[in-house]
Structure 1
Amino acid sequence: MHFFLLGASGRTGQHVVSELLAHGHTAVALVRTSGSLTPRPGLTVVTGSPLSKSDIRSALFAAPSLSPSAAIFTLSSVRKSDSPFAAQASPPRFLADSCANLCEVLEHAGIHRVVVMSTAGVGDSWANMAWLNQVFLSWTNIKYTLEDHGILDKEIRLTKMDWTLVRAVRLKYDDQKTIVEETDVRTLGSHGKGMSLTDSVSVTSVARFLVKIAVEGLFVKSAVVVADRHG
């Protein structure tokens, strides 16, 4: 299959690229910063902004004679440092507007499948988060990312897309060179019932899951919380 990627240069997105190429798929990625992702066999990289519909349209068919079957969205909003209290660097509604632009361009092109990486705590999963996690998310600037994801979550349901929202619990970032044992994630439904304070999920596991459901057409028009099986 051929995929269109937004967020491919990010810490999760790079694993999505590797997973796709390892299974013989191809992809075209729109990246904001030239040089942030290196083209390689099977991967076409185009520089542009997800806030520009014309940039998305230009990138969509940038790979000669290949039309994407689906899109995978792993964009994340950026703070001025990794501190949870750091100010937002991304504009308000960065995720929601980027996804809205993507869905509009895809629908116009006759492409209806999109898989979006979201986060636990969005929508109906909030009530099942451990209260300490709720406090952390409410009192740090991560709340702005959560709000943006919440807007995206509500708006994508109003589109005609065959969407899936993958709500990852606390992410563990592993080095791409590290060999991580291949394992399936735990799926906890839309509500995330059974989430615990100590739950986490590796970006490698999330990337594999994103690719799997995009390829196999799973969890269409639904949200799903995911965590590593070992907690």
Structure 2
Amino acid sequence: MKIVVLGATGNIGSHVVKEALFQGHEVVAYVRNPDAVPPQTGLTVVQGSLDDRSAMAKAFAGSDAAISAIGVALRAKKPIDLMQRTLPVITAAIQDAGVERFVLVSAFGVGDTAAKASFPGRLVYRTVVAAIFKDKELSEETLPESGLNWTIVHPVNLKEAPAVAIATVKSLDRVAKVPGLPTLPFANVARALVEIAADDGLAGQRVLVTTEKGWKPQGHGV
């Protein structure tokens, strides 16, 4: 596959680039600062901004999938509206370019997923990252109307660490609860994102990416 990665200089996006190349895919990194992306075999780096629909469409042309791992840092100044401003432009560019698959990285705790969280989790989502998560929630409401073959991915807390042996990918409809505050390495989420991009069976779904034991299924006593 040929995969476009947005947010390729970030914690998640840089790992997605690495994983996609490792799996043998061709990768296009669409970034604001090309110097921040190390040259690698199979990687094309394109400079551009997230508000330039025509530039993105040109960069995306010929790709099979696009993975958006863009996000806002905790220290970002308000108002926080990055996703609300850019996601409609990104999806329009994907349509213009005829890209078949779109995978959007969100976060567990965004929108109604917070109802499945533990009390400590909900406390964090309602305070520390409340503005960032609200921006994500509002932007994602428009995705079903985009006409794209999309999947929204909600990973749990993330950290820089060696990949663990097993990570779990489940449709949120099958998840009753995410106990505690499970944490996964960026590398595991990157692997899941590349695999999800290749899975048309997840089109139109929202999925959780968590640790092996970091979820309880519907019908399980909680």
Smaller-chain TM-score bracket: 0.7 to 0.9
1:68 to 63, 68, 72: 63
Which ranges of structure 2 fall in alignment gaps of 5 or more residues?
A: 215-222
Q: Is the 8 A contact 2:121 2:181 kept in 1?
A: no
Aligned to 1:203: 186
Q: Is the 8 A contact 2:116 2:178 kept in 1?
A: yes
* Amino acid aligned to 2:67: I
Within 5 Å, give how 1:10-29 maps onto structure 2: 10-29=10-29
1:123 to 111, 114, 138: 111
CA deviation string 1:6-47 (max 9, x = no partner): 011111111111111111110111112231112221111112
Task: Report the TM-score, using the length of structure 1 for normalisation.
Answer: 0.85
> Quick one: distance in 1 between partners of 2:20 and 2:39?
14
Q: Is the 8 A contact 1:124 1:190 kept in 2?
A: no
* Structure that is richer in helix per residue: 2
Q: Is the 8 A contact 2:12 2:190 kept in 1?
A: yes
Q: Is the 8 A contact 2:5 2:29 kept in 1?
A: yes
Q: Is the 8 A contact 1:125 1:192 kept in 2?
A: no
Structure 2 residue 121 is the aligned partner of structure 1 residue 146:
no
* Amino acid aligned to 1:171: L
- TM-superposed CA distance for 1:165, in Å, is 0.5
Secondary structure of the corresponding residue to residue 212 of structure 1: helix
Task: Report the TM-score, using the length of structure 2 for normalisation.
Answer: 0.88
Q: Is the 8 A contact 1:8 1:30 kept in 2?
A: yes
* Amino acid aligned to 1:152: S
CA deviation string 1:127-151 (max 9, x = no partner): 11112221222222x1111011101
Structure 2 residue 93 is the aligned partner of structure 1 residue 105:
yes
Residues 104 and 166 (structure 1 numbering): CA distance in 2 closer, same or farther, change over 3 Å? same
* Amino acid aligned to 1:118: S
- TM-superposed CA distance for 1:5, in Å, is 1.1
| Equivalent residues, number | 214
Structure 2 residue 73 is the aligned partner of structure 1 residue 78:
yes
* Amino acid aligned to 1:107: Q
Aligned to 2:218: none
Secondary structure of the corresponding residue to residue 11 of structure 2: coil
Within 5 Å, give how 1:168-207 maps onto structure 2: 168-174=155-161, 178=162, 180-187=163-170, 189-190=172-173, 192-207=175-190
Aligned to 2:80: 92
CA deviation string 1:50-95 (max 9, x = no partner): 122133134224xxxxx10110011111233xxxxxxx24763212
Residues 102 and 90 (structure 1 numbering): CA distance in 2 closer, same or farther, change over 3 Å? farther
Root-mean-square deviation (CA), in Å? Answer: 1.9
Secondary structure of the corresponding residue to residue 71 of structure 1: strand
Q: Is the 8 A contact 2:118 2:181 kept in 1?
A: no
Q: Is the 8 A contact 1:26 1:42 kept in 2?
A: yes
Residues 191 and 125 (structure 1 numbering): CA distance in 2 closer, same or farther, change over 3 Å? farther
Residues 11 and 190 (structure 1 numbering): CA distance in 2 closer, same or farther, change over 3 Å? farther
